């Protein structure tokens, strides 16, 4: 393996600038975009608490022309970005539940999983992904660093509350045996020291084992102007080209990949020990469609320009509404809403409140970096304000029909990719 100095913010209680590519170590990284300083998206202050000092971190995106990786310019200590009271649960989002059911069906058919096979999910969250494999009769184990793992445990899905590492991989292997399948959904781009993590995955895999990752897809991010998915949890923004490069360093070969709809556009990638699986045409097809080198540089420059224009257009719509005296609220508080709100510069003077569905762990907190309260959506239907901005715009169709059914009458705005009234 190439010697690449690991980025380690863990244990610093602070942050470390990324001066070398996280995957290949190349040091001449090019700046793609700067969103200014941002608060951690999941540290939410309880409403009414005395305002205290809060950390803000520079948020910029870098491009490595050697391995094609687009990455964040700063690594923040995971204890800051994944606090034990991390409020995200995947089971509450329909599109994620459906996606995990689809992942199970695809894996079960493709890998011909048997009852004895062990399936390990890294970053297993509330156990939604593994519940499908458990219902299918397979042995399952979740690894999840935050308290959300206890929800999974209560559902009967065994979960270790730890950060994944080669040490944990060896521990799991000793206790449970090798894994036929290791999954990492929406977390393989998050973990620092990705080379150690990948080594751990290789150690955990049986000789015929398969590693399936799902990550937000760089090309979809660029095409749909999803700059709001840029925040400190997401250290890397993979194309299939850059992800394959990373896995190859560890002798893993990508043998199948396909686009999936989660998080506004993700990629599901199947990898195994080199030569152990037949490589499908999907891999070459997807890689061929991705810009590289000078073409990628040009694509990123266009992205930077479009992000700025999108911000100015949204502000212009909001200004017009405010001049007419409209009350504006927000629909849903996903992590991405924090980037959008802070980059655009929205505060409690512009947005009265943000609604979440009953049961959300975010209700009763302020949106990060602001004094915009997150409230139960009942308030929206009781007050019927003139306008609502859909922060979960990537599922705007689904939300619009629900909101209309529940009799919300106001104007609905989607902030991205092109800000407009629905």
Site residues, Zn ion (CB under 5 A): 21, 23-24, 26, 64, 66-67, 69
CA distance 179 to 202: 10
CB of 97 to Zn ion, least distance (A): 35
| Cβ atoms within 10 Å of 408's Cβ, excluding its own | 21
Q: Which is nearer to Zn ion, 1 or 109 (CB)?
A: 1
Q: Least distance (Å) from Zn ion to the CB of residue 227? A: 21
Work out the number of other CB atoms within 10 angstroms of the CB of residue 189. 22
Cβ 286 to Zn ion shortest distance, Å: 19
Q: Is the distance from CB of 183 to CB of 119 less than 8 angstroms? A: yes
CA 334, 257, 132, 236 torsion: positive or negative? negative
Q: Least distance from C-beta 245 to Zn ion, angstroms?
A: 8
In this structure, are residues 225 and 303 in contact, taking their beta carbons and an 8 Å threshold?
Answer: yes
Shortest distance (Å) from residue 67 CB to Zn ion: 3
- Looking at the Cβ atoms of 25 and 364, the one nearer to Zn ion is 25
Cα 371 vs. chain centroid, distance in angstroms?
24
Q: Look-up: residue for tokens 């059911």? A: 101
In this complex, which beta carbon is closest to Zn ion, that of residue 9 or of residue 23? 23
Max alpha carbon distance in the chain (Å)? 66
Q: How far is the CB of 292 from Zn ion (least distance, A)?
A: 12
As measured in angstroms, the least distance from the Cβ of 24 to Zn ion is: 3
Within a 10 A sphere around the Cβ of 14, how many other Cβ atoms?
A: 11
Q: Which residues contact 107 (CB under 8 A, 6 or more apart)?
A: 113, 133, 181, 210, 212
192 versus 356: smaller Cβ distance to Zn ion? 192
Residue with tokens 């520079």: 58
Which is closer to Zn ion, CB of 21 or CB of 41? 21
Q: What angle do CA 409, 413, 414 make, to 5 degrees?
A: 135
Nearer of residues 245 and 336 to Zn ion, judged by Cβ: 245
Whose CA is closest to 127, among 109, 100, 167?
A: 100
**CA–CA gap between residue 104 and residue 82 (Å, rounded):** 26
| Closer residue to Zn ion, CB minimum distance, 21 or 260 | 21
CB-wise, 26 or 313, nearer to Zn ion?
Answer: 26
Among residues 22, 137, 4, 141, the alpha carbon closest in space to that of 70 is found at 22
- Measured from the CB of residue 20, what is the shortest distance to Zn ion in angstroms? 8
Q: How far apart are CA 196 and CA 4, in angstroms?
A: 11
């Amino acid at each position: 393996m190439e010697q690449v100095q690991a980025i380690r913010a863990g244990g610093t209680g602070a942050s470390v600038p990324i001066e070398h590519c996280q995957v290949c170590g190349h040091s001449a990284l090019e700046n793609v975009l700067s969103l200014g300083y941002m608060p951690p998206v999941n540290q939410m202050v309880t409403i009414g608490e005395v305002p205290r000092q809060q950390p803000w971190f520079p948020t910029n995106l870098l491009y490595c022309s050697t391995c094609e990786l687009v990455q964040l310019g700063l690594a923040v200590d995971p204890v800051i970005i994944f606090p034990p009271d991390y409020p995200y649960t995947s089971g509450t989002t329909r599109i994620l539940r459906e996606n995990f059911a689809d992942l199970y069906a695809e894996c079960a058919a493709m890998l011909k999983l048997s009852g004895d096979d062990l399936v390990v999910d890294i970053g297993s969250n509330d156990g939604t992904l593994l519940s499908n494999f458990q219902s299918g009769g397979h042995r399952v184990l979740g690894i999840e660093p935050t308290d959300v793992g206890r929800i999974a445990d209560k559902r009967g899905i065994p979960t270790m509350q730890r950060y994944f590492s080669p040490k944990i991989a060896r521990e799991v292997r000793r206790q449970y045996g090798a894994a036929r399948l290791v999954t990492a959904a929406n977390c393989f781009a998050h973990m620092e020291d990705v080379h150690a993590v990948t080594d751990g995955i290789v150690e955990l895999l049986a000789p015929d084992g398969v590693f399936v990752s799902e990550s937000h897809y760089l090309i979809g991010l660029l095409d749909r102007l999803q700059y709001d998915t840029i925040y400190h949890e997401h250290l890397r923004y993979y194309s299939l080209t850059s992800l394959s490069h990373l896995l190859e360093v560890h002798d893993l070969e990508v043998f199948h990949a396909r686009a999936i709809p989660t998080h506004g556009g993700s990629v599901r990638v199947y990898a195994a020990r080199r030569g152990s699986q037949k490589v499908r045409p999907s891999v070459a097809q997807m890689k061929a469609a991705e810009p590289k080198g000078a073409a990628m540089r040009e694509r990123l420059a266009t992205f930077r320009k479009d992000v700025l224009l999108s911000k100015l257009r949204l502000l212009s719509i909001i200004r017009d509404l405010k001049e007419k005296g409209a009350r504006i609220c927000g629909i849903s508080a996903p992590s991405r809403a924090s980037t959008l709100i802070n980059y655009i510069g929205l505060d409690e003077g512009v947005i009265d409140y943000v609604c979440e569905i009953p049961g959300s762990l975010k209700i009763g907190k302020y949106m990060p970096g602001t004094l915009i309260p997150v409230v139960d959506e009942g308030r929206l239907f009781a007050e019927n304000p003139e306008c609502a901005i859909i922060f979960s715009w990537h599922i705007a169709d689904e939300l619009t029909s629900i909101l209309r059914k529940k009799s919300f009458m106001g104007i609905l705005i989607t902030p991205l990719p092109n800000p407009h009234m629905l």
